[in-house]
A and B are shown apart, each in its own frame.
Chain A
Amino acid sequence: MQAFSYVSARTLSEAADILAREGDQAKCLSGGTDLIVFLREGRRSAKVVVDVKGIPELNQLGYSPKEGLTIGAAVPLHRIYNDAHVIEHYPGLIDAATLIGGIAIQGRATLGGNVCTASPAGDSIPILIAYETTCIVASRNVTKAIPLEKFFVGPGRTVLQPGELLVALKLPPPKPNSGAAYLRFIPRNEMDIAVTSAGAMVVLDEDKRRFVGARLALGAVAPTPLFVPEAGAALTGQPVSDEAIEAAARAAQAAARPITDMRGSAEQRKHLSYVMTKRALLRAIERARGG
């Protein structure tokens, strides 16, 4: 492991200054559960590691019925899944946050880190996309908002430019009669990376018999987490029925562009895109109906 210097930034501008100065040789450290592993294994290199956990904007966790949920990029998972608002309004996020790592990892790991690692299999990402999450990105001079599904450009690569950092994730308030769920398929019952995963959010009509809208995203079936608008389109306006769910699941399967690797084959992932979509939708519908 190579030596690096370490700065614990106290303000957004302090962090932004260092990032601007050091370019890609500066790396943000949030929980460090990915970054330290990457540095140890030589998969990333850094001259300066900028700890962002001390920056107030990155530590906010707040909900309002009008604004929805704001999660600072450095908020650890245990705060998220213990938050009463998240538990009440974003159960799909709880699915993901309780699934990432074990207790020790959850004490440190953050959604900001999970998103910025940009693994196609990152467990928080499909459900965050389904929840219509926006990324708040800042640099020395500019702050901008980017829809999460546009945040990724390839495995481990995001739209972030040298000098930029992720400040927070914003999730809109849940719509009435909506429900969401995240499911991942792993061969073991723990300690595995998703072979395929699906995050689904459905909005039903007042009678809860018809889809008003739906968003679906898949994990581990493309170079980036994959938003599948076709699946949502297949459901919107349809009655809640096996046929509609089947059509959405087939749309997801068609959209998946997986590879074969040690974690699973392309055919398997295609097939699982269908299965996991179906199961995630069923769970999301159950939740929308109050289950």
Chain B
Amino acid sequence: MTPVIKKTEAKTNGKPFKVIGQRVIRPDGVDKVTGRAQYGADVILPGLLYGKVLRSPHAHARILSIDTSAAEKLPGVKAVITGKDLKPAEDKVAKSGESSVNYSYLSQNVLAQDKVLYHGHPVAAVAATSIHIAEEALALIKVEYEVLPPVLNVLDAMKDDAPILLPNLRTKELGEVVSDKPTNIASHEQHARGDLAVGFAEADVIVEREFHTNTVHQGYIEPQNGTALWNADGQITVWTSTQGAWDQRRDLSEILHVPLSQIRVIPMEIGGGFGGKFPVYLEPLAALLSLKSGHRPVKMWMQRDEVLKATGPTSASVIRVKMGARKDGKITAAQAWLAYEAGAFPGSPVGAGMGVIFAPYKLDNVQIDGYDVVVNKPAAKAYRAPGGTNAAFAGETVIDELAEKLGMDPITFRRINAAKEGDRRADGPIYGRIGFIETLDAIEKHPHYHAPLPEPRAPYMKVGRGVACGFWYNWDGKSSASAVVNPDGTVSYLEGSTDIGGTRASLAMMLAETLGIHYEDVKPMVGDTQTVGYNDGTGGSRTTYGSGMAAYHLGKEIIREMKQRAAVLWEVPADDINVEGDVYSYGEKRITFKELCAKLDETGGPMSVSVSLDTKGAIPALATHVVDVEVDTETGKVNILRYTAAQDVGRAIHPSYVEGQIHGGVAQGIGWALNEEYYYDKDGHLMNASLLDYRMPTALDLPMIEAVIVEVPNPNHPFGVKGVGEVPIVPPAAAIANAIYRATGVRMTVLPMNPKNVLQALGKI
């Protein structure tokens, strides 16, 4: 199956794009395929020490004492730290990537103070001359615990008599603390509009269901790592795998109580993040160990079980949805109740989930309540469209059921209710130029939607087709970049966005397009917190948008400077110089960008420019997916036969990387839908902390995923960009659930829809 690509027809100033829309070769490609690219694990420094973390064997316990004396005496051990070495951080909140961070909690998550709150919570760390000595030293640390009862799911945690994780936590009820009762409910928020009672009274059909979803992990292949040198002059340098070097710098500054200017964060190549590589875990420990070991560099990296046990997965949840619709297909009322597990510290993506759940539809009577609840699991962190997949699983299942009850085609039903530019979302904002209906059209017109389902391979096999839609906010944010114009006609381009999805290429393309020069003549490089201006992290689907905007303005700055140089050359006013692509002209005089570069020395000397922007104007992404499944009704196993995803991307700068994002999002969504889950025993031990038993899909579990690129340009962006990376993970679970229903007649209301849960739903066990 070859992907259907909508040809890039859009124009700027009446001219077709030269670079944008091409499938150019990525500048980091050769290094990556030859193994030369430098990842965190490749950092080797003179005098390097190796650090390891001692982790809690309990889900919930009070630390009574820690005795590190035997570990300290082990030859080769250079430093041991515990919570005592970490001065408590301030109880204040800042934005981090797409979520927010409370420094006090972040600090306690990095290294436990008086309590451990999940299996795998760090309690001590060691630096030694070899990794084996460090491992041995961990075994010599004696920790006395008073084990406390754990609370392992959101409904239990919300009960009045639940064990309390954080004694000082009080519920923020619609923004205000109204009770002094200790609780696990960090917050209750609400969006409401219209009158639910009126809406439900008007409905001809009403569907009401409760959904349960399990904890899942991003599953990036590269484990967390970090190397830190706390130099004798007080300067700290950190080499790490991060989506947000500046976020890290600020987090380290708060946790270590060191001014920002004393910290340099160098982002290495990254082996996946999906939101999970925003928070700090090892970096502050490596820094403290470096300080304590006499300013030697300390390198740390996690094993896979540590990644699964102790880095932020995304929330398990319970979601209740009630919706009503009229016979003519109009949704008259929609109500949702969402309770998300935050893990050990407040900060689940329930707020995002509340916004996602009904976002594709125009609703007059709506109420959405959301609860952020702590439980004895690792602190939830961002994961690709945080909180979106589970919310859409609930919302889009109910939408499908309403369509079915009304005897309507699921796409027709959605089109009747589809949100458009100017409609107000349940969570407040008014939509700009979104392309939701265009994605519905794309799927409705696609051959997949009309192809007959394949014949089942055996009598116990059932096949079915499901549809679901999804929404994601998209973020704009702050971006800086700088450039050096070289005498040979090339531009060295320094940007500050960790390149996860091919953004070095797409940003360089936008700079080349702006300058009218060849893509190959732009030499992009990702800088660090010391070498380039501030950048928000690579997250929230913002990089191609925000950093792309910076690339455009950087290009405009270069053009302005180049006009000055041409003006000097020709002794004419700069303002009168005309620029067409890479040609600068004045009357009969013409000179190309490249030729002008050769004359830099004689027109004023070297040239460099930089820009720093706080960009605005992101527009949400919407998507419609269709999937065919085969269900083995004897074993409960679901096979994905065919998958097609249509998405409004605004503009596909580099279509291959747009498709890559769609493929990746769908693949992760399929994993979440079918087999991924955290499996805890009753005492709160994570039992499947390996990629053998945490079942992400393998290549053999995925079909060809056809990405249908729909381009409804964003008028706020010079090239029409909308964010792309996150929305494709939103619809898959719902689409698959709807397909399972069409195949078997059974509505799945739990994630994952693994063989056990499907057998249960089918009444076979």
Contacts and interface: CB of A to CB of B under 8 A. Distances in A.
B764 interface: yes
Contact of B692 (A191, A265, A271, A275): A191
Interface string B632-672: 00111101000000000000000000000000000000000
Interface string A262-274: 1111011011100
Interface in A175-202: 185, 187-193, 195
B692 A188 contact: no
A272 B635 contact: yes
Contacts, number: 55
B432 interface: no
A187 B755 CA distance: 6
A26 B687 CA distance: 29
A191 B135 CA distance: 29
A189 B755 contact: no
Contact of A188 (B634, B675, B687): B675
B693 A268 contact: no
Contact of A271 (B132, B697, B765): B765
A207 interface: no
B756 A265 contact: yes
Interface residues of B, number: 26
A264 B679 CA distance: 10
Contacts of A189: 639, 698, 700-701
A104 interface: no
Interface string B165-183: 0000000000000000000
Interface string B424-464: 00000000000000000000000000000000000000000
B616 to A, nearest CB: 44
A188 B679 contact: no
A275 B693 contact: no
Interface in B95-153: 132, 135
A1 interface: yes
Main secondary structure, interface of B, reads loop
Interface in B732-765: 754-756, 759, 764-765
A185 B636 CA distance: 11
Given A187-B637, A275-B635, A268 B756 contact: yes
Chain A interface size range: 20 to 34
A264 B752 CA distance: 13
A286 B691 CA distance: 36
Nearest to B756: A268
B688 interface: yes
Contacts of A262: 679, 687-688, 693
Contacts of A271: 759, 764-765
B692 A187 contact: no
A192 B697 CA distance: 11
Nearest to A263: B693
A188 B697 CA distance: 7
Contacts of A188: 675, 695, 697-698, 700-701
A267 B759 CA distance: 10
Nearest to B700: A189
A261 interface: yes
A134 B309 CA distance: 42
A179 B634 CA distance: 24
B687 A195 contact: no
A267 B693 contact: no
Contact of A187 (B135, B634, B695, B765): B695
Interface of A: 1, 185, 187-193, 195, 261-265, 267-268, 270-272, 275
17 contacts: A1-B132, A185-B635, A185-B637, A187-B637, A188-B697, A188-B700, A189-B639, A189-B698, A189-B701, A193-B692, A262-B693, A265-B765, A268-B636, A268-B759, A268-B765, A271-B764, A275-B635
5 A-B pairs with least C-beta separation: A262-B679, A189-B700, A262-B688, A267-B765, A262-B687
Interface of B: 132, 135, 634-637, 639, 674-675, 679, 687-688, 691-693, 695, 697-698, 700-701, 754-756, 759, 764-765
